[in-house]
């Protein structure tokens, strides 16, 4: 039986093309193809052995839109590859110091957003009860779930940073707490949205039972809430390169649109036509249901174990290829989500006569290097002396 070689190659082509992906006998291995290399490529340097720097396009703006996007993505990929293999001690110290500073800013965004959601919920609760507006009640319900999910995000960050003493109970950590919480909250929010839809339909079919009255105090409360949200949106937007801050920025932006729309529909329902308010509640209810259902599906996909992107797999493959001259082949590269972060599995091939202590040091150093990537929670490196054999691991079927 013939088994194909699980060999990785690098190819940065002068024209846009897709990165090829082939399958090996043990797992699917991502190939970065290179016109100047053969299929038996062996890694022999840690300092840009493929001369990727020369492939960087200094001015992609001179090309058409599609080509420009390709070269921008390629430049970003090359930069990530080169950075991921140059974690010197001084660079690592500087990186950790910068990361600590950035983490402090993100924590301020997290706690500030949570405080803003508390203020917003309090103001909207008063406004919804006093005005009896279905549109404003719908925005209040959304604020409640934003408050709960924001609290879960802060809690997840807290137990990750300060509850490491529980590692004997949770060996893999508790970073997936947030994902589970989002799925639970999303399910509750979909149920609440259904109730909002029922009440809105009931309001449309029974005019006498639906009498809203939006006062000046209600308008002032909503305007204060919008101002607080706008301030937090501006702050979180400055930190948008961090996923957590980006989530909060998106949440604040959606809240501003939702509350402005809800207030508009409530005012029109009070001063123009009564049925505009329940229609507003119906629209907001549908919007909330769609957004939270989409979030539940995306989080569930990550918790189930969705594969990493092709670009990230290529980056991992490159790291393994150039890590050590004693690594002869990169056999298998896997990366899959366990929530927001990922598990990585890398199989490399070394000479069968390599002493155990040497192969151990090579594998462990590669593992440590991969785990320094912010996307990675845990990495496993398996060392073999041959790649021409049947698969060793199979997925169990029910």
pLDDT beyond 50 at 16: no
The whole-number average pLDDT for the span 79-84 is 76
- Among 49-58, 207-216, 218-227, 348-357, the minimum mean pLDDT is found in 207-216
The reported pLDDT for the residue numbered 398 is 64
Let me know if residue 118 belongs to a domain.
yes
Cα maximum dimension of the chain:
88
pLDDT category of residue 211 using cuts at 50, 70 and 90: low
- Asked if residue 346 lies in contact with residue 380, where contact means CB atoms within 8 angstroms, the answer is yes
Let me know if residue 95 belongs to a domain.
no
pLDDT tens figures, 300-333: 888 888 999 888 999 899 889 888 889 999 988 9
Range from 35-49, 147-161, 268-282 that averages highest in pLDDT: 268-282
71 plus 110 within the same structural domain: no
Residue-level length of the chain: 398
The reported pLDDT for the residue numbered 66 is 84
The reported pLDDT for the residue numbered 95 is 58
pLDDT beyond 50 at 29: no
Determine the Cα–Cα distance for residues 319 and 383; give it in Å rounded to an integer.
15
The reported pLDDT for the residue numbered 34 is 33
Q: Which residue, 134, 141, 136, is CA-closest to 263?
A: 136
The reported pLDDT for the residue numbered 344 is 94
The whole-number average pLDDT for the span 4-17 is 42
The whole-number average pLDDT for the span 67-90 is 75
Determine the Cα–Cα distance for residues 57 and 259; give it in Å rounded to an integer.
45
pLDDT beyond 80 at 388: no
Let me know if residue 96 belongs to a domain.
no
Q: Which of 304, 324, 344 is the last residue of a domain?
A: 304
Task: Encode 273-291 in three state secondary structure.
Answer: CCCHHHHHHHHHHHHHHHH
179 plus 250 within the same structural domain: yes
- Among 151-165, 188-202, 337-351, the minimum mean pLDDT is found in 151-165
Contacts of 39 (CB under 8 A, 6+ apart): 5, 7, 9
The reported pLDDT for the residue numbered 24 is 37
pLDDT beyond 50 at 35: no
279 plus 312 within the same structural domain: no
Domain of residue 210 covers 102-304
Q: Which of 275, 304, 333 is the last residue of a domain?
A: 304
CA triple 19-46-346, angle to 5 deg: 55
Percent of the chain with pLDDT over 70: 76
pLDDT beyond 70 at 277: yes
- Asked if residue 210 lies in contact with residue 274, where contact means CB atoms within 8 angstroms, the answer is yes
pLDDT beyond 80 at 270: no
The residue that leads in pLDDT, 296 or 22, is: 296
52 plus 141 within the same structural domain: no
pLDDT tens figures, 364-378: 999 999 998 888 889
The reported pLDDT for the residue numbered 351 is 92
Determine the Cα–Cα distance for residues 120 and 132; give it in Å rounded to an integer.
17
Instruction: Report the CATH number at residue 233.
Output: 1.20.1510.10
The whole-number average pLDDT for the span 245-252 is 76
Determine the Cα–Cα distance for residues 106 and 160; give it in Å rounded to an integer.
14
Helix (H, G, I), strand (E, B), or coil: what is residue 45?
coil
CB atoms within 10 A of CB 372: 13
Output the six-digit token pair for 64. 């058409």
Let me know if residue 93 belongs to a domain.
no
229 plus 352 within the same structural domain: no
pLDDT category of residue 163 using cuts at 50, 70 and 90: low
300 plus 170 within the same structural domain: yes
Q: Which of 304, 323, 349 is the last residue of a domain?
A: 304
pLDDT tens figures, 134-157: 778 878 877 887 787 777 767 766
The whole-number average pLDDT for the span 58-66 is 80
**Which residue blocks in 206-240 are alpha helix, DSSP H?**
216-238
The reported pLDDT for the residue numbered 392 is 66
Is the whole-model pTM more than 0.85? no
144 plus 240 within the same structural domain: yes
Percent of the chain with pLDDT over 90: 11
**Which residue blocks in 132-242 are alpha helix, DSSP H?**
134-162, 177-205, 216-238
**Average pLDDT score, the chain:** 75
pLDDT beyond 60 at 27: no
- Among 18-22, 212-216, 284-288, the minimum mean pLDDT is found in 18-22
- Asked if residue 52 lies in contact with residue 77, where contact means CB atoms within 8 angstroms, the answer is no
The whole-number average pLDDT for the span 55-81 is 81
297 plus 309 within the same structural domain: no
79 plus 154 within the same structural domain: no
- Among 84-93, 150-159, 209-218, 345-354, the minimum mean pLDDT is found in 84-93
pLDDT tens figures, 173-205: 677 777 777 787 778 778 878 877 887 888 777
């Amino acid at each position: 039986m013939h088994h194909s070689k699980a060999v990785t190659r690098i190819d940065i082509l002068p024209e846009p093309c897709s990165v090829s992906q082939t399958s090996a006998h043990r797992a699917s291995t991502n190939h970065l193809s290179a016109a100047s290399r053969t299929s038996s490529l062996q890694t022999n340097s840690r300092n840009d052995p493929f001369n990727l720097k020369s492939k960087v396009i200094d001015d992609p703006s001179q090309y058409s839109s599609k080509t420009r996007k390709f070269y921008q993505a390629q430049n970003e990929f090359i930069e990530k590859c080169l950075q991921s293999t140059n974690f010197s001690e001084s660079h690592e110290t500087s990186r950790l110091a910068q990361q600590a500073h950035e983490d402090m800013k993100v924590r301020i965004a997290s706690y500030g957003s949570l405080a803003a959601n508390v203020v917003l919920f309090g103001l909207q609760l008063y406004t919804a009860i006093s005005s009896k507006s279905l549109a404003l009640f719908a925005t209040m319900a959304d604020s409640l779930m934003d408050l709960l999910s924001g609290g879960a995000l802060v809690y997840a960050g807290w137990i990750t940073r300060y509850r490491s003493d529980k590692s004997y109970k949770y060996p893999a950590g508790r970073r997936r707490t947030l994902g589970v919480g989002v799925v639970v909250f999303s399910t509750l929010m979909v149920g609440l949205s259904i109730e909002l839809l029922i009440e809105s339909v009931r309001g449309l079919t029974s005019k006498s039972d639906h009498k809203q009255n939006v006062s000046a105090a209600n308008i002032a409360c909503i305007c204060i809430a919008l101002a607080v949200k706008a301030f937090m949106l501006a702050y979180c937007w400055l930190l948008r390169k961090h996923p957590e801050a980006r989530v909060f920025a998106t949440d604040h932006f959606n809240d501003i649109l939702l509350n402005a729309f809800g207030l508009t529909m409530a005012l029109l329902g009070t001063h123009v036509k009564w049925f505009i308010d329940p229609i507003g509640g119906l629209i907001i209810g549908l919007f909330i249901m769609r957004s939270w259902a989409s979030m539940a599906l995306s989080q569930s996909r990550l918790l189930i174990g969705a594969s990493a992107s092709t670009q990230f797999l290529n980056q991992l493959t490159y790291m393994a290829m150039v890590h050590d001259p004693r690594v002869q082949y990169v056999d298998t590269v896997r990366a899959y989500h366990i929530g927001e972060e990922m598990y990585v599995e890398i199989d490399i091939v070394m000479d069968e006569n390599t002493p155990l202590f040497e192969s151990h040091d090579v594998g462990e150093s590669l593992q440590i290097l991969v785990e320094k990537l912010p996307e990675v929670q845990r990495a496993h490196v398996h060392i073999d002396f041959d790649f021409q054999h049947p698969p060793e691991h199979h997925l169990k079927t029910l």
